[in-house]
Every structure is written in structure tokens, then in C-alpha cells.
Amino acid sequence: MPYSEQQIISKQHWSDNIFSFRTTKPDNFHFENGQFVTLGLRSENKLIPRAYSIVSSNDDPSLEFLSIILPDGPLTSKLVLINEGDSIFINTKSTGSLTLEHVKSGRHLFMIATGTGIAPFISLLRGKEVFNRFEKIILVHSVRKEDGLVFREELESKQDANFIYVPTVTRDPFRNNQRGSDLLLSGQLTSEIGLPSIDPKFDRLLICGNPEMNRELSDSLLENGWCMTNFKGTGNFSLEQAFVLQNS
């Protein structure tokens, strides 16, 4: 794979086990907002690669990534120790199924994320093209602890008639303690934000999170007449199945 050696520009800790970091951008590197790349560090002359969604938009001169920390993780245990100026290796080929090309245009776009699965949706929102394709964008981000609501200030500042941000926290006292997928499927989400019930004829969904949520939500949608994007064409919902978000 074509890896390019780049440098760490900055790092930000969001909580005890979540951090983000910025890197320089390989020359002539192009990607669609919502895609991911593999990146890695060298240890004992061996590259340890893992897949990471890109948080930054494709017009940003740098690249931003979001990661959890796993103390025993072959990569994250080392990645958390990086500092400004350190080297990191980035694959110059991007891919992924959470781009605007993977869902039809429609009325409302619902982005359902858990944990670090919010990363590709931040990229889409920063790119702004998504607002030309849908009347309203609804981002639901579910985390266990409130300090996991990364990019919260940025997202709250974006809220307007076209964008609705719905954070949920399942294990801390919070105004909404339900999982985002449960809110969506029960109809409570659309009721609370004053929108019509989700309809596969008009609405679109992008899903990114832990494998259990991905599976449960996609199975329910398929049972209720929704069509998932696959290699044969574009559907009315899509999820990222290419990698497990809990990077090791």
C-alpha cells in the first residue's frame, strides 16, 4: 500500500480515553468527505496500521483523526504518546461508504453515531455540501459518558433551521439517556424535534458506530422497507462495515 510519511501537527485530549490529532497532508491526496484511510506508526521496523475515519473536510490543508485509547492496543497505546513533529504514516488511498455518493438525495438526512463513529459525520458537516442535498441534517451522537461528546461545542454552534444536533449519554445523568438508534426506531426522535416519521421514500440514513448498533439498526431498517447501499447501486441508507471503529 502507498504510505506517505507525515508529521503530527497537534493533539487534543477530550477525555481519559479519547483524543484527536492533526497531521500534515500528503501531496496530491484527495478524499471524499466521510471516507477513511489506514494510518500507522513504525515499531521495531514494522508498520502497525489501522483504519481511521478522517474528521477534517477535504478542503482542509491538514488531516484530523479521532481515536480512543486502548492500553493494550498495538497502535493506540503508542499513538497516544505522539507529540508535535513526530512521524506518522498515512495511506494515500481513501475509501468508505459514508459519503454523499452512497445515498440518494432526499428530504432529511439522519446521521446515527456512537462513540468515535462520529468522525466521518464531522467531515461531512464541515464540508457543507451535504446541506445542498437535504432539507435538514440530523446528527444523533450516543456515548456512555458525557465527556465522550467530542466536538460538542462546534456542533452546538452549528445548530440552525437546517441542522439539528441530538447528543445522548447512556451511563451519566443527562437530559437524554437513550441510545440514538432506539430513539430513531421508536419514533421519539422525530416527535421530539418536530419532524415527520422517518420514511424510506423520502429520508436517508448514515450509520457509524459499534458493530452491535450497526447490525441491530440495519436489520430493523431492512425489515421495514429500507434499502442498504451495496456494490450494485445507491440505497436510502448506508453504514461503515469496512472496519471496527474501536481501533486497537
What are the structural domains of the chain?
3-91 (2.40.30.10), 100-239 (3.40.50.80)
**Eight-class DSSP state of 124:** H
Burial of 141 (0-12, 13-18, 19+ CB in 10 A): buried
pLDDT score recorded for residue 1: 57
The share of the chain scoring above pLDDT 90, in percent, equals 89
Q: Residues 40-55: what's their mean pLDDT?
A: 91
Q: Cα(204)–Cα(186) distance, rounded to whole angstroms?
A: 17
| Contact of 239 with 207, CB cutoff 8 Å | yes
Distance set, CA 130 to CA 68, 158, 203 (Å) = 27, 13, 14
Assess whether pLDDT exceeds 80 at residue 195.
yes
Grid cell for residue 14: 477530550
Residue 242 has pLDDT above 70, yes or no: no
Q: What is the CA radius of gyration of the chain?
A: 18
Is residue 214 within 8 A of residue 204, CB to CB? The reply is: no
- State the CB neighbour count (10 A cutoff) for residue 124: 23
Alpha-carbon gap, residue 26 to 4, rounded angstroms: 6
Which of 25, 17, 92 shows the shortest CA–CA distance to 57?
25
Task: Kindly report the average pLDDT of the chain as a whole number.
Answer: 93
Q: Please list the residues that pair with 7 across neighbouring strands.
A: 87
Determine the Cα–Cα distance for residues 126 and 109; give it in Å rounded to an integer: 15
pLDDT at position 87: 96
Estimate to the nearest angstrom the gap between the alpha carbon of 68 and the chain centroid: 13
Residue 230 has pLDDT above 90, yes or no: no
**Are 41 and 49 within 8 A, CB to CB?**
no
